[in-house]
Chains A and B, each alone.
Chain A
Amino acid sequence: MLTHRGPDETGFHSENGVGLAHTRLSIIDLGGGQQPMCNEDSTLWITFNGEIFNYLELRKELLSKGHRFATRSDTEVILHLYEEEGVDCVRHLNGQWAFSLWDNQRRRLFLSRDRLGVRPLFYTLAKNTFIFGSEIKAIFANPGVSREIDLKGLDEVFTYWCTIPPTTLFRNIQELSPGHSMTVDASGIAVRQYWDCQFEGTSGVVDLSQEQARCDELLELLIDATKIRLRSDVPVGAYLSGGLDSTVTTALVKKFTNAPLRTFSVTFDDAEFDESFYQSDVVRFLDTEHEEIRCSKNQIGEVFPDVIWHCEKPVLRTAPAPLYLLSRLVRNSGYKVVVTGEGADEVLGGYDIFKETKIRRFWESQPDSRMRPILLRRLYPYLQNIQNQPDAYRKAFFHINVGCQQQPFFSHIPRWQLTAKLKTFFSDATRAETAGDDGFSDIRAQLPQRYSSWDSFGQAQYLETKYLLPDYILSSQGDRVAMAHSVEGRFPFLDHRVVEFASRLPASLKMKVLNEKYLLKRCAAGLIPPSVAKRHKQPYRAPEACSFLQPAAREYMQELLSPEQIRRDGVFDGSAVAMLLEKFRKGAAIGIKDNMGLVGVVSTQLLLHQFINHFEGRMTSHAA
């Protein structure tokens, strides 16, 4: 089931009622890193997906303490570190991991997931048997596990764009949260958090010499974060979107790679989404060997069912599909590791939602101002609807009411409330089961103690980094679509040292007035082409629901969105979906909500089809 995550080798270990399985994507110590792997006396066994980037430094320390290594792999470092530190070993790791370690002496299974949630880890308890896997489909391969949709998970996607761990789209299947570890033994399951992002920030004026010092510090951290992410026994490539972040990571990789650097990009037929002008500029500037894939609406429609098979949850945008096509290009070019720019927007303050929050605060302090709302129009030059809105509507949309600023979710309420309107497509039964909580209680219950004392910029950063980053960006647009073609992403901006450094910065260094990622831009000056340094931020977007009206999608759209099928599945309201489809066919669907609605409905129906109604068939075709 998970061959796509590791096509190079498979391994199994079982003893006394415990079994570990592994599919390997060989990257470090190609000859010696087979898994599951054990320590010298076979009392510890590990199965591990990911990379420990500081393994060389940790290995040296462990050697000096008398540990003896049988391989050159990073996997073995975890085993010896566990011998030394027990479950606290994860605090020393710099990397991206999901692992399970069987401690035979304690009769205890120890599982852990990296701080930011780069690598996935799911588990369930079925008939008193604990089962875990990197993907849910591996858990479902066990015939003792039932497959049912968890409408709470669906409700979360139709509010936050993602599920909130431990909830998943499937009943009784849990996701281990980023920054958490767990133990499983005769006394039961215990989950504990070992790390969380803390966007405390600092206030006060930063003078120019301090600003330069922070800039130097950030650059030094990014250089080291990139350098250790090039540790690999196979060549490392880089994704290039044409934006600031991937240009910075590509520039840093280029600086530390002697071999010719290969870069990979997506381009679009549709000029609205295409960034090839900037990509070409970067390729010329950094002199990389470049490959690109041109993506059409029809291709998005064609691969979308496979994308959902890999994502294992509904999505509200088609954006994962082009990235699925991109990872295929990478793999076909002989590469299996790419460095990308993910994480910079969250930790260094790049997203429009941070700017929007700042402008809304500014507007709210004088709600009747005619000049202040103009800033919101400037914020979204690529969204026609926002451009043409009358002020009264813009005010309502952005929730400009005196007093709102005190709300803990001030930054995200417009987005969440807009998204929640998509629940209009839920059937009465779905609505009845998911009704009763409009107060975002699932997130509220998980907020760190000091959250309310942070400024609204830090709070917005926390919500993006803690939820949308792992459960949408790094999964549906990251790990799942990259690993679909056995490609591993590496993210210098998500080195925990960079995240912790950024979380201590004052908001004014992340966004100076309305200049996003200010410190990063200062840092990158000279490393990247001026055209990229100066360009207006354009979020990565792809052709949306129109992709489902293309010939390649016709067959599954007819089958899965027919009124009969919608009624049988029972999740959505057949006539509401029919009206939405009709609106698209007439060309009258122009709004964000209609697009998100159709992508959400189609992806949910595909999920039901592949995981609930026809799992065995899908499993067989996937294995073939």
Chain B
Amino acid sequence: MPLNDELRRFVTDNFMFGKVGNGFADDDSFLERGIIDSTGVMELVAFLEEKYGIRLHDQDLIPDNLDSINGLARFVESRLQPN
């Protein structure tokens, strides 16, 4: 499954319980759309760490990385690329 779809699936199943309503775009802000609030961030971090085997540090926990499907995908890809 493409990365964006995988991330979207996790977000809709875990935070929206399958109820996507009018849907949301890959660039939509989770915070602004009320999809993920602060209490959900830790869940998202746990998922990224477990699913992609990456480690998130305090400085990574910023909306640029975690607040949209595209933001998440960019962040995960950057971490998965070999240095």
Contacts of A624 in B (CB 8 A): none
Q: Given A424-B19, A573-B19, A579-B13, decide whether A390 and B39 contact each other with a Cβ distance below 8 A.
A: no
Across the interface, do B17 and A425 meet the contact criterion of CB distance under 8 Å?
A: yes
Name which residue of chain B comes closest to A580, CB basis. Answer: B17
Check A385 against B42 for contact (C-beta < 8 Å): yes
Is the beta-carbon distance between A393 and B41 smaller than 8 angstroms?
yes
Instruction: Say yes or no for B4: interface residue by CB 8 A criterion.
Output: no
CA distance A576 to B34 in the complex (A): 17
Q: Are B31 and A393 in contact (CB under 8 A)?
A: yes
Known: A390-B62, A392-B63. A397 touches B17 (CB 8 A): no
* Residues of the A chain whose Cβ atoms lie less than 8 Å from the Cβ of B41: 385, 388-390, 393
B18 within 8 A of A: yes
List B contacts of A573 (CB < 8 A): 17, 19
Name the residue on B nearest A389 (C-beta). Answer: B38
For chain B residues 26-77, which have a beta carbon within 8 Å of chain A? 31, 34, 37-43, 46-47, 58, 61-63
Check A397 against B39 for contact (C-beta < 8 Å): yes
Quick check: is B3 within 8 A (CB to CB) of the other chain? no
Which of A319-327, A364-372, A583-591 is near enough to bind chain B? A583-591
Would B14 and A583 count as touching, CB distance under 8 A?
yes
Answer whether residue B80 sits at the interface, using C-beta atoms and an 8 A cutoff.
no
Residue contact B38 to A385, C-beta cutoff 8 Å: yes
Known: A392-B63, A575-B18. A397 touches B42 (CB 8 A): no
Cβ–Cβ contact B17 & A424, under 8 A: yes
The closest CB in chain A to the CB of B29 belongs to: A396
Task: Decide: A591 near B43, CB < 8 A? Known: A397-B37, A418-B37.
Answer: yes
> Closest A-chain residue to B12, C-beta based?
A579
A28–B65 Cα distance when bound, in Å, is 66
Closest A residue to B21 using CB positions? A424
Minimum Cβ distance to chain B for residue A134 (Å): 38
Query: Within 8 Å CB of B13, what residues of A?
Result: 579
Chain A contacts of B37 at CB under 8 A?
393, 396-397, 418, 421, 593
Residues of the A chain whose Cβ atoms lie less than 8 Å from the Cβ of B61: 390, 393
| Smallest Cβ-Cβ distance to B34: which chain A residue | A421
Interface string of A381-423 (1 = CB under 8 A from B): 0001110111011101100000000000000000000100100
| Contacts A575-B18, A583-B14 given; does A396 touch B38 at CB 8 Å | yes
Bound form: Cα–Cα A388–B40 in Å: 11
Which chain A residues border B38 with CB–CB below 8 Å? 385-386, 389, 393-394, 396-397
Q: Is A396 in contact with B43, judged by CB distance below 8 angstroms?
A: no
- The residues of B that contact A385 with a CB separation of less than 8 Å are 38-39, 41-42
Is the beta-carbon distance between B62 and A384 smaller than 8 angstroms? no
Contacts of B47 in A (CB 8 A): 588
Contact of B39 among A392, A579, A580, A592 (CB under 8 A): A592
How far does the Cβ of A135 sit from chain B's closest Cβ, in whole Å? 34
For B16, the closest partner residue in chain A by CB is A424
Residues of B within 8 A of A579 (CB): 13-14, 17-18
Closest Cβ–Cβ distance, residue A380 to chain B (whole Å): 11
Once the chains are docked, how many angstroms separate the CA of A384 from the CA of B43? 12
Which chain B residues border A392 with CB–CB below 8 Å? 31, 62-63
Q: Which of A5-37 contact B (CB under 8 A)?
A: none
Tell me the complex Cα distance, A394–B40, Å.
11
- By beta carbon, the residue of chain A nearest B65 is A390
- B52 CB to closest chain A CB (Å) equals 16
Across the interface, name the chain B residue whose C-beta is closest to A426: B19
Q: List residues 424-443 of chain A with CB under 8 A from any CB of chain B.
A: 424-425
Give chain A nearest CB distance to B32 CB in angstroms: 9
Name A577's closest neighbour in chain B (CB-CB): B17
Closest A residue to B41 using CB positions: A393
Q: Which residues of A contact B14 (CB under 8 A)?
A: 579, 583, 588
A417 (CB) vs chain B CBs: closest residue = B34
Question: Which A residues are CB-close (under 8 A) to B39?
Answer: 385-386, 397, 418, 591-593
Q: Which residues of A contact B43 (CB under 8 A)?
A: 588, 590-591
Contacts A393-B31, A421-B37 given: A384-B18 contact, CB under 8 Å?
no
- Please give the distance in Å from B71's CB to the nearest CB on chain A: 12
| Chain A residues in 8 Å Cβ range of B19 | 424, 573, 576
B residues in contact with A397, CB < 8 Å: 37-39
Give Cα A222 to B44, complex, Å.
Answer: 49
With A384-B42, A389-B41, A393-B38 already in contact, the answer to whether A576 and B62 are too (CB < 8 A) is no
Q: How far is the CA of A389 from the CA of B62 in the complex (A)?
A: 10
A472: shortest Cβ distance to chain B, in Å?
Answer: 21
Complex Cα–Cα for A591 and B44 (A):
11
A368 to B41 CA separation, bound complex (whole angstroms): 21
Does A591 lie within 8 Å of B40, measured CB to CB?
Answer: yes
Residues of B within 8 A of A393 (CB): 31, 37-38, 41, 61, 63
Which residues of B sit under 8 angstroms from A388, Cβ to Cβ? 41-42
Complex interface residues of chain A between 502 and 543 (CB less than 8 A to chain B)? none
Q: How far is the CB of A363 from chain B (nearest CB, A)?
A: 14
Q: How far is the CA of A245 from the CA of B3 in the complex (A)?
A: 53
Chain A residues whose CB sits within 8 angstroms of the CB of B16 once the complex forms: 424
Q: Which residue of A lies closest to B64 (CB)?
A: A392
* Closest B residue by C-beta to A385: B39
Collect the chain B residues with CB atoms within 8 Å of residue A424's CB: 16-17, 19
Which B residues are in CB contact (< 8 Å) with A394? Answer: 38
What are 11 A-B contacts defined by CB distance under 8 Å? A385-B39, A385-B41, A388-B42, A389-B38, A389-B41, A393-B38, A394-B38, A397-B39, A575-B17, A576-B18, A579-B18
A-B complex: 3 closest residue pairs judged by Cβ atoms: A393-B38, A576-B17, A397-B38
4 more A-B residue pairs beyond the given contacts A424-B16, A425-B17, A588-B47, with a C-beta to C-beta distance below 8 A: A384-B42, A573-B19, A577-B17, A588-B14
